[in-house]
Structure 1
Amino acid sequence: MTATPHPPETLEPGVVRVTANNPSPFTKDGTQTYLVGEADVAVIDPGPADDTSHLSAILTAIDGRSVRAILCTHTHRDHSPLARALAAATGAPVVGCAPLALDDAGVRADAAFDRDYAPDRVLADGEAIEGADWSLTAVATPGHTSNHLCFAWRARGILFSGDHVMAWSTSIVSPPDGDMGDYMASLEKLLGRDDRVYYPGHGDAVTSPQRLVRGMMGHRRAREGAILRLVRGGEGDVTAMVQAMYAGLDPRLHPAAARSVLAHLFDLRRRALVTGEEGGVWRSAA
């Protein structure tokens, strides 16, 4: 892929954003790569494979500095695949989330997984990597994917939130790897933090993160309540639920909405509130 690159943007001292030219209903203006640090740098979420213009833009923003690490929040293929070319160009190790061993033949509405991702080092929850003037700590936030990490620059009050929390859209939670129970627990985890700002994988910075996270949790609980009411009223088909609950939604996003509805149903089944299987009819267990 070759396209006109977005120019690098300095968001604050030590934080530069380079946006890939892969806009879509799922990526907004494109996947956002972050350069962290000034003396040397970490690169967070290098982006999609074969995007030579984005690789060139990242290298221009690096401007000859040492790259201490290439960090990946998760392995959707709009986030991690360019790590391989960037590692070859800079000699930096690929660090961050764990690879997935996922055998899923089902429909996926969001970006497919990077099955070739092979990190040099996996960061556990709370584990840090440091540069000359920065330190990033892994914050495990499964839900959007089972291997999702955020990265916290605690001294600066910054959280690089990947696809877990974004201001422009709620995250897709797509089973079997995406898990709604885990996603809600990860949001609860972020409520216990005091980050000043989130820099997400797509869209604008989140400048009131606690308020947004509380709103996202309320939104998901409202969706859960709507699903329960539909099921208890006799509606057991996921496609019909989407049509009832997402009036006015871009039809291109209906498959993604169906995956999130299914994730809610799986979570409700785990809590013994509904019964059913993917592709079948869902019923109330009460």
Structure 2
Amino acid sequence: MDFPAQPWPTGRAEQLEPLVRRVLAPNPGPFTFTGTETYLVGAAGALAVIDPGPDDPAHLGALLEALGDAPVAAICCTHNHRDHSPAAALLAVATGAPVIGCAPLALTSAGPRGDAPFDPTYAPDHVLADGDSLSGPDWTLTAVATPGHTSNHLCFALEQSGALFTGDHVMGWSTSVVIPPDGDMAAYMASLDKLHSREDRVYYPAHGPQVDKPRQLVRGMIGHRRQRERQILRLLGTGEARIVELVPRMYKGLDERLHGAAGMSVLAHLVELEQRGTVERRDEVWMLLEG
């Protein structure tokens, strides 16, 4: 998907519906699109802030300006990649609000990444489990556990309007990156099935445009991943191969600078297939199992 024409609404509070405003952070990039989108939930009294974003003084200033004199009841994080959670601690100091949401997680990776690294400073005051809720004067947010992109990923359902804040699990501009060992393709697919079974009216992702036909998009994402899986099996059916050999055959025309990140996605599929007993590996070489 191409980037939209500038200027983008960076730093400006946009009213999306009566209970929801959005503020775009100034951190555009190949894996963040036009930037991280922070959501302010509530119209009267104490508000919730979802995915406060990166450690950026301009973004923090934009959030405080958008909040005005309104108190903050909760600062909620879908997961703690560095484009999502570092501003939580800064906003907590400025507002006195607790940080509530995903569990803390900090892993390092020596290989190429297709997303931001984890934020090791993330320290929530309270962790939400699947189905847990928090409320303000005119809003209730319910946590929907959606592991896959990360093992600690949560979405947040706004009960009053049928909106779902999907973080990086479902985005309108790109599929989510799944990078082992924490990223798990089987969990990701199960989470997609979980969302497809819901009746949410609209998705508000952390990157890219809102999703007005959520079940249709999720159905397409499930199909896309299964197509990739079939492609891997078809290629391995012609002979054993290493991931570096599969990537250019699967992602024809892809910028070679992105081959490492694509290889992580292929690895996630292969690990799932290995767990199902469909493929096996010997060192870096992958092959189909007979029968």
Among 15, 32, 42, the alignment partner of 1:37 is 42
Measured against aligned partners, the alpha-carbon deviations of 1:147-196 in whole angstroms (never above 9, x if no partner) come to 00000012211000000001110000000000000000000000110000
Q: 1:46 aligns with which of 43, 52, 72?
A: 52
Unaligned runs of 5+ in 1: none
- Compare 267-276 and 228-237 and name the one that shifted more: 228-237
What is the DSSP-based 3-state SS (H/G/I as helix, E as strand, rest coil) of the residue aligned with 1:150? strand
Task: Kindly provide the amino acid, as one letter, of the partner of residue 23 in structure 1.
Answer: P
1:149 paired with 2:154, answer yes
Aligned to 2:195: 190
Q: Matches of 1:229 and 1:73 in 2, distance apart?
A: 36
Mean Cα deviation higher: 128-137 or 94-103: 94-103
Q: Does 1:247 align with 2:252?
A: yes
Specify the code of the residue in structure 2 equivalent to 1:68. Answer: A
Match of 2:107 in 1: 102
Structure 1 window deviating more from structure 2 (25-34 vs 239-248): it is 239-248
Give the 3-state SS of the residue equivalent to 1:138 in structure 2.
strand
Q: Provide the C-alpha distance between the structure 2 equivalents of 1:131 and 1:248, rounded to a whole number of angstroms.
A: 49
User: What secondary structure is seen at the aligned counterpart in 2 of 1:137?
Assistant: strand
1:223 counterpart residue number:
228
Match of 1:116 in 2: 121
Does the 8 Å CA contact 1:151/1:159 hold for their aligned counterparts? yes
2-structure distance, mates of 1:149, 1:251: 32
Q: Does 1:283 align with 2:291?
A: no
Q: Please report how far the alpha carbon of residue 206 of structure 1 lies from its aligned counterpart in structure 2 after TM superposition.
A: 0.3
Contact 1:41-1:69 within 8 A present in 2 as well? yes
Find the aligned partners of 2:243 and 2:102 in 1 and give their Cα distance: 31
Determine the C-alpha separation between the residues in 1 that align with 2:50 and 2:191.
Answer: 20
- The residue type paired with residue 288 of structure 2 is S
| TM norm structure 1 | 0.95
Matches within 5 A, 1:175-186: 175-186=180-191
Q: Does 1:63 align with 2:68?
A: yes
Q: Is the 8 A contact 2:273 2:279 kept in 1?
A: yes
Q: Are the counterparts in 2 of residues 46 and 79 from structure 1 also a CA contact under 8 Å?
A: yes
Equivalence for 2:136:
131
Q: How far did residue 12 of structure 1 move?
A: 1.1
Report deviation, 1:124: 0.4
* Alpha carbons of structure 1 residues 97 and 207: separation in structure 2 relative to 1, 3 Å: same
CA-to-aligned-CA distance 1:217-265 (integer Å, 9 cap, x gap):
0000000000111112114111221111111334443222111110000
1:156 is paired with a residue of what secondary structure?
A: coil
Instruction: Tell me which of 231, 254, 261 is aligned to 1:256.
Output: 261
| Aligned equivalents of 1:48, 1:198: Cα separation in 2 | 21
SS at 2:123 equivalent: coil
Moved over 4 A (4+): none
Percentage of matched positions with identical amino acids: 62
CA contact (8 A) 1:25 1:253 kept: no
